[in-house]
Structure 1
Amino acid sequence: MTTFYEGLAEILEVDTDAVTPELPLASANADWDSLAVVSTIALIDDCYNVMVDGKALVACGTVADIEALIDAARQRNA
């Protein structure tokens, strides 16, 4: 997850250390907007070679929710 967390930190414009499963995406220090969602879809594709649904990604409230979405997509592709 390190590469993913580093990329997510860049997208959200936060320190890498701030990216934990508990990080709320809509927090004051995270920039979770439509551009961040599209960038995260591309990051997930680059890191895990899976595509996630944009609407499902928008509904994620924390990094853990994104990780669960990735895991579900990886299982579908297995």
Structure 2
Amino acid sequence: MIPARPDVEPVETAPPVLFTVVKGNPAPEELAALAAVVLSMGSAETAEPAKPSVRHWVRRQQLQLAPQPGPGAWKRSRG
């Protein structure tokens, strides 16, 4: 652990600015509602597409559901 130096004051970092009010005088409740909406919009993460597992393909082979040529084969090829 590093001992605190008496001649150096700790530096306080300001939180990042989310938005600024350019015109008008909104109430604190209005600013809180706006902040909630803005924060909820930015936190969405994209989900990765689901990949079929090995078990899925083994099961298809056991049930003889492997794609076979013929009419409508393109419908069965998806799995």
Structure having the higher helix fraction is: 1
Q: Name the TM-score, length of structure 2 as normaliser.
A: 0.28
- Of structures 1 and 2, the one with the larger relative CO (CA 8 A, separation 6+) is 1
Q: Name the TM-score, length of structure 1 as normaliser.
A: 0.28
Name the larger-Rg structure: 2
